[in-house]
Structure 1
Amino acid sequence: MTALPPIPASGSFVLAGARVHSSLTPDLKAQFDGDGFVLADIDVADGRISAIAPATPAEPHAAAIDLKGRIVLPCFVDCHTHIDKGHIWPRSPNPDGSFKGALGANEADRRARWSARDVARRMDFSLRCAYAHGTKALRTHLDSGAPQEEISWPVFEEMRARWKGRIELQASALVGIENVRDAAWFGRLAGRVAVARGVLGSVTYMVPDLDDLLDRMFSVAISLGLDLDFHADETDNVGAISLKRIAEAALRHRFEGKIIVGHCCSLARQPDAEMLDTLDKVARAGMAVVSLPMCNLYLQDRRHDGTTPRWRGVTLLHEMKARGIPVSVASDNTRDPFYAYGDLDMLEVYRMATRILHLDHPVGDWPKAVAATPGRAMGLAGAGVLRAGGPADFIVFKGRSWTELLSRPEPDRIVVRDGRHIDVRPPDYAELDDLMVE
Structure 2
Amino acid sequence: MIVRNATLPDGQTGMDILISDGLIQAVGPGIEASGHEEIDAAGRLVSPPFVDCHFHMDATLSLGTPRLNRSGTLLEAIALWGELKPMLTQEAVIERALRYCDMAVAQGIGAIRTHVDVCDDTLTGVEALIEVRARVAPYLTLQLVAFPQDGLYRSPTARQNLLRALDLGVDVVGGIPHFERTMEDGRRSVTELCELGAKLGRMVDLHCDESDDPHSRHVEQLAYETQRLGLSNRVTGSHLTSMHSMDNYYASKLIDLIAESGMNAVCNPLINITLQGRHDTYPRRRGLTRVPELQAAGVPVAFGQDCVMDPWYSLGSGDMLEVAHMGVHAVPMTSLKDIRAAFDAVTVVPAALMGLEGYGVAPGCKADLVVLDAADTVEAVRIKPARLFVLRAGRVVARAAPRTSSLELPGRPASVTFGRGISPA
Q: TM tier, shorter chain? A: 0.7 to 0.9
Counterpart of 2:292? 318
For residues 160 and 200 of structure 2, the distance between their equivalents in structure 1, rounded to whole angstroms, comes to 10
Shift of 1:309: 6.7
**Residues 213, 46 of structure 1: CA spacing in aligned structure 2 closer, same or farther, 3 A cutoff?**
closer
Query: For 2:292, what is the secondary structure of its paired residue?
Result: helix
For residue 161 of structure 1, what is the aligned residue in structure 2? 134
Q: CA RMSD in A?
A: 2.7
Contact 1:194 1:226 in 2 (8 A): no
Aligned pairs, number: 392
Q: Distance in 1 between matches of 2:399 and 2:273?
A: 28
Could you say what secondary structure the match of 1:414 adopts? Answer: strand
Matched-pair contact (CA < 8 Å) for 2:343–2:381? no
- Residue 20 (structure 1) aligns with: 8
- Superposed, which structure 2 residues align to 1:211-226 within 5 Å? 211-226=187-202
Task: Evaluate the alpha carbon distance shift between residue 316 and residue 38 of structure 1 in structure 2; reply closer, same or farther with a 3 A threshold.
Answer: farther
Distance in 1 (CA, whole Å) between partners of 2:8 and 2:175 is 38
Between 1:289-298 and 1:212-221, the stretch displaced more is: 212-221
The question of 1:248 aligning with 2:236 is answered: no
Superposed counterparts of 1:138-157, under 5 Å: 138-148=112-122, 150-157=123-130
Q: Which residue in the other structure is 1:413 paired with?
A: 388
Q: Is contact 1:190–1:220 with CA below 8 Å preserved after alignment?
A: no
1:345-384 CA distances to partner (integer Å, 9 max, x unpaired)? 212222222222315332454432112221121121232x
- Classify the secondary structure of the residue corresponding to 2:165: helix
Higher relative contact order (CA 8 A, sep 6+): 1
**1:115-154 residue pairs with structure 2 within 5 A?**
115-148=89-122, 150-154=123-127
Is contact 1:211–1:249 with CA below 8 Å preserved after alignment? no
Q: Distance in 2 between matches of 1:48 and 1:273?
A: 48
- For normalisation by structure 1, the TM-score amounts to 0.82
**Partner of 1:192 in structure 2?**
165
Q: Are positions 1:373 and 2:349 aligned together?
A: yes
Identify unmatched segments of 5+ residues in structure 2: 401-425
Q: 1:277-356 counterparts in 2 under 5 A? A: 277-302=253-278, 310-356=284-330
Q: Secondary structure at the match of 1:179?
A: coil
Deviation at 1:310, TM superposition (A): 2.4
- Tell me which residue corresponds to 1:433: none
Residues 52, 113 of structure 2: 8 Å contact kept: yes
Rounded Cα–Cα distance in structure 1 between residues aligned with 2:249 and 2:101: 42
Instruction: Provide the residue aligned with 2:41 in structure 1.
Output: 67
Letter paired with 2:297: R
1:210 to 168, 186, 207: 186
Q: Distance in 1 between matches of 2:242 and 2:233?
A: 25
1:400 to 356, 375, 382: 375
1:302 CA displacement: 3.0
Q: CA deviation at 1:264?
A: 0.5
1:301 to partner: Cα distance:
1.5
| Equivalent residue number for residue 89 of structure 1 | 63
Q: Normalising by structure 2, what TM-score?
A: 0.84
> For residues 325 and 37 of structure 1, what CA distance do their matches in structure 2 show?
26
Cα deviation, residue 114, structure 1: 1.1
Q: Secondary structure at the match of 1:78?
A: strand
The answer to whether the aligner puts 1:77 opposite 2:59 as a matched pair is no
The percent of aligned pairs where both chains have the same amino acid is 27
Deviations 1:171-197 (A, max 9, x none): 111115743378986145224314314
Is the partner of 1:171 in helix, strand or coil? strand
Work out the CA distance in 2 between the residues paired with 1:181 and 1:402: 44
Matched, 1:259 2:235: yes
